[in-house]
Amino acid sequence: MKKPKISLQAVIILFVCIVVALSLGITDLLISRGITSSVEDTQKDKALNVARMVAISPQVIRALEEPANQENVQPFTNEIKELTEVNFVVVMNMEGIRLSHPDPNEIGRHFRGGDEGPVLQGKEYVSTAKGSLGPSLRAFTPIKNAQGIQVGAAAVGISLDTVTKAVHKGQMVMVIGTLIGILIGIIGAVGLAKYIKKILLGLEPSVIAKLLEERSSMLQSVREGIIAIDQEGKITLVNRAASRLFKKAGIEGNPMGHSIENYLPETRLTRIIKSGQTELDQEQKLNGVTILVNRVPVVVDNEPVGAIATFRDKTEVQLLAEQLTGVRNYADALRAQAHEFMNKLHVILGLVRTEQYETLTNYVSETVSHRETEVSFVTKMVLDPVLAGFLIGKLSFARESGASLSIECTNKIPKPAYSKTTNELITIIGNLIDNALEAVADCPNKKVELMLDYAEEILTVEVKDTGKGMEHAIQDQILEKGFSTKGENRGFGLYLLQMAIERLEGDLIVSSKIGKGTNFAVYIPYKEEGESV
């Protein structure tokens, strides 16, 4: 069974707590030593200062010089002891005999502890020893008269328990500070974890890593080229399909991190960041390679922060479109012929049932003759079998629509040097005939004429209809993408027609009069098969 992974929030909280605890623990350890030393030094200084204060007291000096005044020392030292909160204040003569002591019974006895020797020799110091009141920190200061002659010594003691308590008190402050610091660290860690998780949209690192791998695989697997830039125009993403297209266009080098304007000078991707507008199905040239590009801004918090372009070689798109167009035309032709054939079968069935055999014979003969004449004419004048088959299908489609489509060829139309020319011609002629048939659909005289001519390497395609005609304002707009007077999701046929004419470097002339129909004339440079190109 797979063990559950620790959440990002728990990891951050745990990590921050450990770091804070270690930092404060080490700090506490280092400072505690300093506090202990500082407290001890403070207690030593306190004891020395009290001892010095006693040593310069005239009352104490006089008592040491004049034994008759010794009874005044005890009250004085007791008062000093109470005021300074020390353990004891002892005044001794040069023989080490006490003149004062917290315990009156000890007065007149020799000083205990064994550490009083140096002070009787004029030295000032601090020591630790056990006396009549237990272990204590003891400060010794010599007492000198006005002539500078030592007449005794003062000893001030602070209980070691008092020192220890002072040290512990300082350490306790550090411990409390450490605990408060850890608590603040935990609160900060929780807040930081929530903030980071909010930035990551509530996703755990493992989920983000998985999404990143899936995104990378997805971007690399698609056949469309993808390139992304940041707000400064630096390239941040290029997939394999884009790299292949760049190589095909002769653009070498790794684009990652480069400025899009330097790597692809003709791109308009930076414009998308400024405008924030999406551009779809735009043509662009890459060193002679035509691509179809979609440009989309990347928006975060309603602000463009980058842009992404997806693109594909137009040749591939054209190939797919041509394949789909060919299948559609073939299906339309079959459907039209099947419908036409069913109508004729109905006529034949009616004639059989009414036993009008002579009429039936004449009808079948006329139909076969008309069909043979029609097919024979088209195949004789149009030498490209694909184009000829397409025109035959359009004849059947026109009859199914209830319109009359006539085809005239002044000269034979040879097979083109390139197969793509046939595909473009199918787009041109197909859209012209379809528009003409729609134009005459509601007219009493439903007649469409297709005239083909080839001379001096120019192919002329002319389509006339007897429709209602168009106003001049509409004639100026009919080639625009999406423009139509027939409703929504229309207006692409003539746009595709215009694109096909441009690809063949041809010309289009439109003439139309209200009530007299419309005439489309297309002139295309046309090289026949076998001719040097």
Give pLDDT tens digits along the chain (533 positions): 444 566 766 777 777 777 777 777 777 666 666 666 777 778 788 888 988 988 888 888 888 888 777 888 888 888 888 888 888 888 888 888 888 888 888 888 888 877 888 888 889 988 877 766 667 788 899 998 888 888 899 998 887 776 667 667 766 777 777 778 778 877 877 787 777 777 776 666 667 667 767 666 666 666 777 888 887 888 888 887 777 777 777 777 777 877 877 777 777 777 777 777 788 777 777 766 777 788 888 887 777 778 888 777 666 655 555 555 545 555 555 565 565 666 666 666 776 777 776 776 666 655 655 555 567 778 888 888 888 888 877 887 787 777 888 888 888 889 888 877 888 888 888 888 888 888 888 888 888 899 999 988 899 999 998 888 887 767 666 766 655 555 444 445 677 778 888 888 889 888 888 888 888 899 999 888 766 44
Task: Please say whether the beta carbons of 128 and 138 come within 8 A.
Answer: yes
396 by Cβ neighbours in 10 Å (0-12 / 13-18 / 19+) ranks as buried
Of 476, 464, 419, 418, the closest CA to residue 439 belongs to: 464
Q: By 3-state DSSP, what share of the chain in percent is helix, strand and coil, each rounded to 5?
A: 50, 25, 25
pLDDT value for 404:
84
For the chain, which domains are there? 10-166 (3.30.450.20), 220-313 (3.30.450.20), 356-525 (3.30.565.10)
Query: Which residues are CB-neighbours of 469 under 8 A, at least 6 positions away?
Result: 512, 513, 514, 515, 516, 517, 518
Structure tokens, 420: 């793509």
CA angle 483, 488, 489 (to 5 degrees): 80
pLDDT value for 177:
73
pLDDT value for 2:
47
pLDDT value for 1:
40
pLDDT value for 485:
55
Q: Which amino acid is at 205?
A: P
Query: Which residues are CB-neighbours of 235 under 8 A, at least 6 positions away?
Result: 227, 228, 229, 255, 256, 257, 258, 259, 260, 263
What letter would DSSP give residue 6?
P
Task: Please say whether the beta carbons of 367 and 343 come within 8 A.
Answer: no
Residue linked to tokens 């299908």: 393
Distance CA 357, CA 376 (A): 28
Task: Please say whether the beta carbons of 469 and 517 come within 8 A.
Answer: yes
